[in-house]
Structure 1
Amino acid sequence: MKGYVLFTALLSATSLYGQSARDIVMAADSKMRGKTSLAEIVIQTVRPAWSREMSIKTWMKGSDLAMILIKLPVKDKGIVFLKRKLEVWNWTPSLEKLIKLPPSMMSQSWMGTDFTNDDLVRESSIINDYNHSFLQDTTIDGRSCYVIEMLPKKDAPVVWGKLTVCIDKQDYLELYSRFYDEDGLLVNTMVASDVRIMDGRLIPTRFEMIPAGKPNQKTVMIYKTVIYNRQIDDGFFTTESMKSINQ
C-alpha cells in the first residue's frame, strides 16, 4: 500500500508539470538556438556618461559550434570569436593574433559589455552542467511562466553559482533570468521582450542585461534577422576560417 501511495504521488507530480524542469530548459534553449542559426545582431552598451553600438554576425550549430564576427564599429571590425566544443578562440586581424581563451576568462566582460564571454559563446551547458528544479510559477507580460532554478553540478565548468529563469509555458520563451555568483549574490538580470516571428519561429528579439547595483548601466542585444536550420558544414567552424571570414 505504501508503494502504491508513493507511485500515485509521483504520478500526480508528473501530471502536474507534464515535463521535467530540465526538459523545459532544453525546449527553451532549442527554441532560440535551432539546429543551426545565422543572425544579424546589434548590441548597445549603455553607461551613465556614454553609450556605443556594435553590429555582429553569428553562426551557430548545435551547442558545440559557434562563430561571432564583429562588423562595426570600424576599430573592432573583423574581430572573430570561435567556440568549438570546449575550446574558445579569439582572432584580432589588426594584430594578426590568434588566442585560445582559458576557462578563467569565461566570466570576464565580452567586448566591454555586460555580457560575459560565457554568455555569448556558452562554453558551459545550461542543460548538462546544472541541476534543474521548479520554483513557484509567475506571470510576465500576461504570459504564465515556469520559474526554474539551476544549480551547478559538482566540478562543472560554469561561471554562475546559481541561475533562475522564467520560461513561458505556451511557447517556451525564456523571458527573465537572474545570474548569481558563488556566494548567492545577484550579479545580472536579463529581461527578454519584443516577441516576434523570425524565420517562422516565435522568439524574443530584444535582450537587456542589467548589472546589479549599477544604476543607468545595461547592455541591449537586438536581433535584426535570424535564419534557422540552414546547412552549415562543421568545417566552417575552424581557426583558419576565422582569419578569412571577413574577406
Structure 2
Amino acid sequence: MIKAIQTLSLICGIILSTQAQDPKDIIQKSLDKVNGKSSQGEMEMTIVRPRYTRTMTMKSWSLGRDYFLIYITGPARDKGQVFLKRQTDMWNWIPNISRMIKLPPSMMGQNWMGSDFTNDDLVKMNSLVDDYTHKMIGSEKVDGIECYQIEMIPKPNSSVVWGKINIWIGKTAYYQMKAEYYDEDFELVSTMEASEITQFDDRKLPAKMVMTPINKPGNQTIMVNKDLKFDTDLEESFFSQQNMKRVR
C-alpha cells in the first residue's frame, strides 16, 4: 500500500512538473540566455552555394530586445556596412556610396546580404514572445540534448515573417537547438540547426548555427560565434545613425 502511494505520488509529481512548463516562459528564458541584458560579439558567416562559397566576418552589439547593431568587418567589398535596429526601425549604412537606407517592414523577410538568414533573423525585429502564441507539442533529443518542442503561431494582426515556427529548446540550459520556419500555407521553408556548445563569457551557448533552405539543394548558411560577451556597458545612444558611421 505504501509503495503504491509512493508510486502514485511520483507519477503525479511528473505530471505537475510537465504541466508547470509554460512554453512562453521557456521561449523567454532561451532569449534571455542568448541576448542577456546586453551583448557584444564577433561572428563569421559562410554562405554556401553550388558554385561558390563566400565568407563574411562581423561584429554585433545588442541592448535588450529593441537595439541591435551589426558592423561588417570583411571581406573588403562589404567592410564598413552597418545595420541598425532601433525599436521598430531598421537602417543600413553603405559607406561606399555614403548612403543611409531605411528598410521598410516588408523587407524583414528578405535574405540578409545574400545569405539564408533573413533581415529579421539578424536584428530580431519581431518578438518570439509577444508576436506569437505558444504550444508545447512534444519532446525530442537534438544533438544529444533533451529538448522541448514548441509550436509558435502568429497572433492575429501581427506583422511577422513566418506563418509558423517550430522550435526545439534544451530542457535544462534552454539552448535553442533547432527551428523550422513555415510560410503562410504552413509549407516548410527552411530549417536551423545548432551545435558545438561552447563557453562564452559567463554562459554556454551553441557556437554554430546552420540555416538550410528546403527547396534549394546545395544551399546553406553557416554562422559561427567566435566571441561573445554579455551584460556589457552599453547605452541607447550607442545605437544611433551617427554612430553607424563611426563604429569599428
TM-score by length of 2: 0.93
2:118 and 2:204 mapped to 1: Cα distance?
A: 26
What is the CA-CA distance between 1:14 and the residue it aligns to?
Answer: 5.1
Counterpart for residue 223 of structure 1? 225
1:162-221 Cα shifts (integer Å, max 9, x gaps): 000001101100101000000111111000000011102010010000000212110000
% identical equivalent positions: 42
The DSSP-based 3-state class of the residue aligned with 2:204 is strand
Give the corresponding residue for 1:237: 239
Any stretches of 5+ residues in structure 1 without a counterpart? 1-10
Which among 98, 104, 107 is matched to residue 105 of structure 1? 107
Q: TM-score, normalised by structure 1?
A: 0.93
SS of equivalent residue, structure 2 residue 150: strand
Aligned partner of 1:4 in structure 2 is none
* Distance in 2 separating the partners of 1:14 and 1:127: 23
How far did 1:125 drift? 0.5
Q: Are residues 26 and 14 of structure 1, via their aligned partners in 2, closer, same or farther at CA, if it must alter by over 3 Å?
A: farther
Instruction: Letter of the 2:136 partner, please give it.
Output: F
Q: Secondary structure of the equivalent of 1:158?
A: coil
- 2 CA distance for matches of 1:17 and 1:232? 38
Counterpart residue identity of residue 188, structure 1: S
The CA distance in 1 between the partners of 2:173 and 2:218, in whole Å, is: 31
Distance 1:171 1:73, change over 3 A: same
Unmatched 5+ residue regions in structure 2?
Answer: 1-12
The match for 1:201 is: 203
* Matched letter for residue 63 of structure 1: R
Deviation for aligned residue 1:142: 2.2
- Displacement of 1:13 in angstroms is 6.2
Q: 1:32, CA displacement in angstroms? A: 0.8
Q: Which amino acid aligns with 2:232?
A: R
Aligned CA RMSD, in angstroms, stands at: 1.3
| Displaced runs of 4 or more, over 4 A | 11-14
Q: Contact 2:23/2:135 (CA < 8 Å) preserved in 1?
A: yes
**CA displacement 1:37-63 (0-9 Å, x = unmatched):** 100000000001100000000000110
Cα distance change on mapping 1:133 and 1:50 into 2, 3 Å: same
